[in-house]
Amino acid sequence: MFRKTLEIGTSPHIISGNSTDTIMRNVVYALLPVAAYAVYVFGLAALLLLITALGACLLTEYMLNRWAGNPSPLNDWSVTITGLLYGLTLPPHLPLWMVFLGGVFGVAFGKFIFGGLGYNVFNPALVGRAFIQAAFPVAITTWMTPFTADRFAHIPSSTLTLPFLEPVYDITSGATPLALMKFEHHTTDVYQLVMGMTSGSTGETSALLIVLGGLYLIARRMMDWRIPVALLGAVYILSTFFHFIDPTRYPDGLFMLFSGGLMLGAIFMATDMVASPITHAGAALYGVLIGIMVYVIRVWGGLPEGVMYAILFGNAVSPHIDNFIRPRVYGTGKKRSLS
Amino acid sequence: MGLFNTLPTFQRGIHPGDFKDLTRHLPIERMPFSAELTIPLSQHLGAPSKPRVKVGDTVQRGQLIAEPGGFVSIGQHAPVTGTVTAIEPRPHPTGRMVESIIIATDPFSPQTFYNEHPMDWEALSPRELISLIQHGGFVGLGGAAFPTHVKLSVPEGKHARFLIVNGVECEPYLTSDHRVMLEEYDDLFYGIRILQKILDVRQVYIGVENNKEDAIEVLRNHVPDDMACEVIALETKYPQGAEKMLIEAVLHREVPSGKLPIDVEVVVNNSGTITGIGHMFRFGQPLIERVVTVTGPGIKRPANVRVPIGTPLTELLNFCGGITDDTRQILFGGPMMGAPQARLDVPILKGTSGILCLTENEINVREEYPCIRCLRCVDVCPVGLNPSRLGALAKSRDYEHMLDFHVMDCVECGSCSYICPSNIPLVQRFRVAKGLLREQQARNKAS
Amino acid sequence: MLILTALGALGGLTVVLALLLIIAYKKLQVKEDPRIDIVEEMLPHANCGACGYPGCRPFAEALVREEALPGKCTVSSDEGRQQIAAFLGVDVGASEKQVARLACGGGINVARNRARYQGLQSCEAASLVSGGGKECFWGCLGLGDCVDACDFDAIKLNAFHLPVINEDKCTACGDCVVACPKDLLSLHPVSHRLWINCKNLEAGDEILEECKVACTACGRCAMDAPDQMIVMKENLPVIDYRNYQDTTKPMERCPTGAIVYLHPQKGKITGPKARPVIRTSARTDAPT
């Protein structure tokens, strides 16, 4: 009757269409417009930066996992996301050797030593960036002017600096809107921020494309919308409140929302599923905490940009949030009594 | 009750496709009696039945062939007129070898059922009714096969105010309860009357998912005027048919953790079981056959079949045209909680609600990834557990900690494994953990 | 100046804390029988639980309290046990090395699969799914729960996915016995060398379709065994180890090799009539 044997599997015998690698791949698709626009704005420097970042992360993940005995480490696309995001947070003309080192560090110490995918406490892209911030503080705060005429023909000298040598910058350096705000109290038009016409890290300039990418993921149910909403909401509410108190000292809500890496961080970094809490209520709390930290660091901290540290802080707190905020089990708690 | 949807339901849950179009319009057909029937003495939860016949005896259809082996046990009856050829261990759908009574059908008998003892149920006391149900061999026909009379024996100090008839049939592909409600509602309401007498309930609810609109309408039209019975349409969601979820949806009460429905004054019974009880009190016939949905892409002619208990699976499959060449998995039950079969020479049991034949296309064995804490499982668990955490604890064999996270409340519905994008076999891990924890608790009690 | 103050303060603090620790160590020391430490040194430090105590230190305490005899420690060598007995001035006590034994010979070269199991690769998990998919319901599933359970590296799966127990490393702690869902492992003294390597409760030659080395309940071993050492119960021979005689006679007419002799040097020997294994790979096509 049969050619082949029957199979016996464990129930359930039908499964939904979701798959981890599909989800990760879709996040990569959502990031591609942002990456493409970044190359458009900053030219060859950005292209080389993204390729190096991606390459460093992929290579590290592959080598470390093969050494650990994992046969197919790149199957889930999670490290692709890490590579892209890590590249998008760096200044466009950062020396490539620094980019490479940061990528290796981020994947090795932000992901591999914790146990790989699913076990990392922190977002590996941010760990990499934190390393660069700590090791090369000057280089990471030197920004490139956008839309320079020769950006597709000329690679900045800083990008191709030889390993372990200090970079020498061309005159194409400019300040970010946040730095302008913090150190020179100079505001930038919100329209410019949204459309990506300002200087900044590679991926943070076009808030519009980032939001579109986020909406795509939310529509496909691959992202918890509560985290970005809570995060951005907290930042907006806090900044509007303080702006109302003293408009000259505190920038308004919209400026805060669209400047710097907040959009990219809120939509793509804070929503890293492994590093965020596992209940919806916990995720909302996590978003609010990060939002508060962002505002505090930006306004009262020593740096003009606080998203990275705020998110790392949120990642550290997320396991504790999970311990305290648990779903209510059927048959326990207040609904026990007869109605 | 949701704001935007008007149908009552429970929290969370999943929506797998319902796949019932293969058989929902097919009326129940009767299959011919097989040459040999195998009646396992243990096809229910509780103590095995004790045989009352010996090898060589002739038996009549409907005759008692095994007695209850204890309080939590039931009687078994001959589904055919024939001869007992053996009493020995035979393959069982759970994979074990179970002591069974094998009957060879008399090929010349008309197989009519004679009701020698018509029952006047109105003259009987609830206790006598319960005893008749136990000896009639009734178990929950929804799949769990729990002896019905035990559920109906309300302990001292407790009282049942509500009876919920479970006509939900939330498993995809299965339509046996649906067809029974459509075609045998007379027996169903007769059975409800019996249960009303036993339990003295104030209100009866019949819960039916709204993908069975014709059944809802038929039932609503035929509720007897003097019966306090309401048919409630529920949102189609899995696992709506689980007892706890049904009580939550219909009555907005929760059964406290570790307790039974009777503790919230509710008794829940499958609609097929009650229909069978009604049939017995009308015509005297004990539980010797049941409706089974044979379906799936792997069966050549899907059907809803009235099958005598103990019919070999191969005979039933042949009656439905046989299985296709690319059939890979045959399940007893539905796709979410059904038991796969390694061999086809097993009998149809009282708790078999469906036979599902799946082909290579449906069996997708995907790669297992680590848990990415995407929170989908927490979103769907109807009991409100944290399957991701439980899975991690089970993997590191931290079974005591799992108790803190309420693993014993898990109903093993499979929603978490279904939705997990990393394809982690969560329910399987929980089953293993629960088994080991139960063994440990038994050992602790013994020492 | 500031540095000196800092150094002095920290140094002084260190000295004070160290003094506190010394005082605490002397005053709060728990007075114990000094023999316990010495006996514990003599034990193998395996903490396996084979003696029935939850570790070597509790066992040492029991030895000193004279609640247990050194013979209970099956992991120690004979000299080790003698040494402890001599030190404490007690009897060694009866002991014989026990090992875990597997009652199944059904590797994938001889035993067929009825259905292919997909799911968690654990015997416990597989046996919950319709028994595991092997043709012989009682047979070893070969997924290695016993290997995982063994803390002493004494069990390994061979090329045919059958567990092989290294009698030298086995301490008879019992973890593998608990782990096996088919109850195929049990603890036996090493001297019981005649062994029934099957748990199949069916009878007849059709079983050989399921597994080539299964016991078909022909009963020849029971007939040939001296003094009724072997009795047939439920289609399986049972050796009465209370009147055990070390002989290979019952094996001589066994047609399949279900009854074996575990020779200390030569390993598992089957009788001369046992059919040789003729398949080297498992066939997984099911019969109709």
**Residue A31 has what pLDDT?**
92
Q: Is the pLDDT of residue C284 over 60?
A: no
Q: How far is B185 from chain A (nearest CA, A)?
A: 31
CB < 8 Å from B in window 206-225 of A: 224
Q: Which of A119, A146, A174 is the last residue of a domain?
A: A174
Query: Which chains form contacts with chain B, at 3 or more CB pairs under 8 Å?
Result: A, C
Q: Does A1 touch chain C (CB under 8 A)?
A: yes
Q: Is A69 left (phi over 0), alpha (psi -120 to 50) or beta?
A: left
Q: C167-199 pLDDT, tens per residue?
A: 888 888 888 998 999 999 998 888 888 889 999
Q: Is residue A328 part of a domain?
A: no
Domain C41-88, what architecture?
Answer: Orthogonal Bundle (1.10)
Q: Is residue A40 part of a domain?
A: yes
**Residue A336 has what pLDDT?**
47
Same structural domain for residues A193 and A228? yes
**Residue A190 has what pLDDT?**
67
Residues of chain B contacting residue A117, judged by C-beta atoms under 8 Å apart: 369-370, 372
Domain boundaries, chain C: 41-88, 98-270
Q: Is the pLDDT of residue B2 over 70?
A: no
Mean pLDDT of B132-147: 90
**Residue B326 has what pLDDT?**
86
Instruction: Please give the residue that has the higher pLDDT: either C237 or A257.
Output: C237
Q: Is the pLDDT of residue C81 over 60?
A: yes
Cα A172 from Cα A184, distance rounded (Å): 20
Q: How far is A13 from chain B (nearest CA, A)?
A: 5
Residue with tokens 């796949």: B19
- Find residue B30's DSSP bridge partners: B306
- pLDDT interval class at B421 (50, 70, 90): very high
Enumerate domains of chain B plus CATH numbers: 21-25+118-283 (3.40.50.11540), 376-446 (no CATH)
Mean pLDDT of C6-15: 94
Whether C286 sits inside 8 A of A5 (CB atoms) is: yes
Q: Which of C115, C120, C132 sits opposite B428 (nearest CB)?
A: C120
Q: Which of B254, B265, B409 sits opposite A336 (nearest CB)?
A: B254
Q: Which one-letter amino acid corresponds to residue B299?
A: I
Q: In what order do the strands lie in the sheet with B58-59?
A: B36-40, B97-105, B82-91, B58-59
Q: How far is B366 from chain A (nearest CA, A)?
A: 8
Which residue of chain C comes nearest to A7, CA vs CA?
C116
Q: Is the pLDDT of residue B91 over 50?
A: yes
Residue among B306, B277, B308 at smallest CA distance from B165: B277
Judge contact between B135 and B69, C-beta under 8 A. no
Same structural domain for residues A56 and A162? yes
Query: Which chains form contacts with chain C, at 3 or more CB pairs under 8 Å?
Result: A, B
Instruction: Please give the residue that has the higher pLDDT: either B210 or A166.
Output: B210
The contact set of B with C (CB < 8 A) is 89, 93-97, 339-343, 363, 365, 425, 428-429, 431-432, 435-436
CATH, domain range C98-270: 3.30.70.20
Which residue of chain A comes nearest to B11, CA vs CA?
A330
Whole-number mean pLDDT of chain B?
90
Cα B301 from Cα B322, distance rounded (Å): 8
Instruction: Please give the residue that has the higher pLDDT: either A191 or C159.
Output: C159
Does the predicted TM-score (pTM) go above 0.80?
A: yes
Mean pLDDT of B405-434: 92
Cα A314 from Cα A291, distance rounded (Å): 9
> CA-based angle B374:B375:B377, to the nearest 5?
115
Q: A220-238 pLDDT, tens per residue?
A: 888 889 999 999 999 999 9
CB < 8 Å from A in window 32-61 of C: none
Q: Is residue A330 part of a domain?
A: no
Q: Is the pLDDT of residue C73 over 90?
A: no
Residues of chain A contacting residue C115, judged by C-beta atoms under 8 Å apart: 5-8
Percent of residues, chain C, with pLDDT higher than 70: 95
Q: Which domain holds residue A293?
A: 176-323
Neighbours of A310 (CB within 10 A): 29
Q: Which of B16, B265, B372 sits opposite A118 (nearest CB)?
A: B372
**Residue C59 has what pLDDT?**
87
Whether B340 sits inside 8 A of C125 (CB atoms) is: no
Interface test with B, best of A1, A3, A5, A15 (most B CBs within 10 A): A15
Whether A18 sits inside 8 A of B406 (CB atoms) is: no
Whole-number mean pLDDT of chain A?
84
Q: Is the pLDDT of residue C137 over 50?
A: yes
Same structural domain for residues A156 and A290? no
Instruction: Please give the residue that has the higher pLDDT: either C286 or B188.
Output: B188
How many Cβ pairs closer than 8 A exist between chain B and C?
50
3-state secondary structure (DSSP) of residue B104:
strand
Residues of chain C contacting residue A8, judged by C-beta atoms under 8 Å apart: 115-118, 129-130, 133
3-state secondary structure chain A: CCCCCEEEECCCCCCCCCCHHHHHHHHHHHHHHHHHHHHHHHCHHHHHHHHHHHHHHHHHHHHHHHHHCCCCCCCCCHHHHHHHHHHHCCCCCCCHHHHHHHHHHHHHHHHHCCCCCCCCCCCHHHHHHHHHHHHCCCHHHCEECCCCCCCCCCCCCCCCCCCCCCCCCCCCEECCHHHHHHHHCCCCCHHHHHHCCCCCCCCCCCHHHHHHHHHHHHHCCCCCCHHHHHHHHHHHHHHHHHHHHCCCCCCCHHHHHHCCCHHHHHHHHCCCCCCCCCCHHHHHHHHHHHHHHHHHHHHHCCCCCCHHHHHHHHHHHHHHHHHHCCCCCCCCHHHHCCC
Cα B127 from Cα B140, distance rounded (Å): 19
**Residue C287 has what pLDDT?**
36
Same structural domain for residues A164 and A225? no
Same structural domain for residues A220 and A149? no
The DSSP result for C75-118, as a single string, is SS-HHHHHHHHHHHT--------EEEEE-----TTTB-BSEEEE
Residues of chain B contacting residue A328, judged by C-beta atoms under 8 Å apart: 384
Instruction: Please give the residue that has the higher pLDDT: either B97 or B116.
Output: B97
Q: Which of C120, C129, C137 sits opposite B340 (nearest CB)?
A: C129
Q: How far is A116 from chain C (nearest CA, A)?
A: 21
> CA-based angle A65:A67:A73, to the nearest 5?
20
**Residue B446 has what pLDDT?**
78
CA A289 to chain CA centroid, Å, is: 16
Same structural domain for residues A209 and A268? yes
Contacts of residue B388, defined as CB under 8 A and 6 or more positions apart, other chains included, come to A278, B371, B373, B375, B377, B378
Q: How far is C115 from chain B (nearest CA, A)?
A: 5
Q: Rounded to the nearest 5°, which phi and psi values hold at A114?
A: -80, -15
- pLDDT interval class at A187 (50, 70, 90): low
Q: A257-287 pLDDT, tens per residue?
A: 887 788 888 999 999 889 899 999 999 999 9
ipTM: 0.85
**Residue A332 has what pLDDT?**
81
Q: How far is B394 from chain C (nearest CA, A)?
A: 12
Domains in chain A: how many in total? 2
Mean pLDDT of C258-277: 80
**Residue A219 has what pLDDT?**
92
Same structural domain for residues A25 and A169? yes
Q: Which of B341, B365, B429 sits opposite C118 (nearest CB)?
A: B365
Q: Rounded to the nearest 5°, which phi and psi values hold at A242?
A: -70, -35
Q: Does C117 touch chain A (CB under 8 A)?
A: yes
Residues of chain B contacting residue C122, judged by C-beta atoms under 8 Å apart: 432
Q: Is residue A3 part of a domain?
A: no
Same structural domain for residues A69 and A196? no
Q: Which of C115, C119, C120 sits opposite B342 (nearest CB)?
A: C115
CB < 8 Å from B in window 255-294 of A: 273-274, 276, 278-280, 283
Residue with tokens 């993921």: A217
Q: How far is A286 from chain B (nearest CA, A)?
A: 14
Q: C12-71 pLDDT, tens per residue?
A: 999 999 999 999 998 888 877 888 888 888 888 878 777 778 788 888 888 888 888 887
Q: Which of A120, A155, A174 is the last residue of a domain?
A: A174
**Residue B8 has what pLDDT?**
87
Q: Which of A174, A206, A223 is the last residue of a domain?
A: A174
**Residue C141 has what pLDDT?**
93
Whether A339 sits inside 8 A of B379 (CB atoms) is: no
**Residue C2 has what pLDDT?**
86
Contacts of residue C8, defined as CB under 8 A and 6 or more positions apart, other chains included, come to none
Q: Does C120 touch chain A (CB under 8 A)?
A: yes
> CA-based angle B4:B10:B16, to the nearest 5?
85
Residues of chain C contacting residue A9, judged by C-beta atoms under 8 Å apart: 117-119, 129
Residue among A71, A57, A63, A66 at smallest CA distance from A110: A57
Which residue of chain C comes nearest to A12, CA vs CA?
C119
Q: Is the pLDDT of residue C144 over 60?
A: yes
**Residue B428 has what pLDDT?**
92
- pLDDT interval class at A339 (50, 70, 90): very low
Q: In what order do the strands lie in the sheet with C259-263?
A: C194-196, C259-263, C267-270
Which residue of chain A comes nearest to B339, CA vs CA?
A11
Mean pLDDT of B96-115: 88
Same structural domain for residues A25 and A166? yes
CB < 8 Å from B in window 110-129 of C: 114-115, 118-120, 122, 124-125, 127-129
Q: Which of A3, A5, A9 sits opposite C113 (nearest CB)?
A: A5
Mean pLDDT of B166-177: 93
Cα C104 from Cα A91, distance rounded (Å): 66
CB < 8 Å from C in window 5-44 of A: 5-10
**Residue A143 has what pLDDT?**
76
Mean pLDDT of A199-203: 71
**Residue A192 has what pLDDT?**
66
Q: Is residue A313 part of a domain?
A: yes
3-state secondary structure (DSSP) of residue B137:
coil
Encode B189-210: b = buried (16+ Cβ within 10 Å), e = exposed.
bbbbbbbbebbebeebbbbbbe
Same structural domain for residues A50 and A137? yes
Whether A2 sits inside 8 A of C130 (CB atoms) is: no
Contacts of residue A211, defined as CB under 8 A and 6 or more positions apart, other chains included, come to A263, A267
Residue with tokens 């900045």: A156
CA atoms within 13 A on the CB side of B254: 19
Q: Is the pLDDT of residue B4 over 80?
A: no
- pLDDT interval class at C277 (50, 70, 90): low
Sign of the dihedral defined by the CA atoms of residues C175, C176, C182, C185, in that order: negative
Mean pLDDT of B171-175: 93
The DSSP result for C172-232, as a single string, is ---HHHHH-TT--EEEEETT--EEE-------STTHHHHBTT------HHHHHSGGG-EEE
Mean pLDDT of B102-119: 82
- pLDDT interval class at C288 (50, 70, 90): very low
Q: B362-409 pLDDT, tens per residue?
A: 877 778 888 999 889 999 999 999 999 999 999 998 888 999 899 999
Q: Does C130 touch chain A (CB under 8 A)?
A: yes
- pLDDT interval class at B118 (50, 70, 90): low
Whether C117 sits inside 8 A of A8 (CB atoms) is: yes
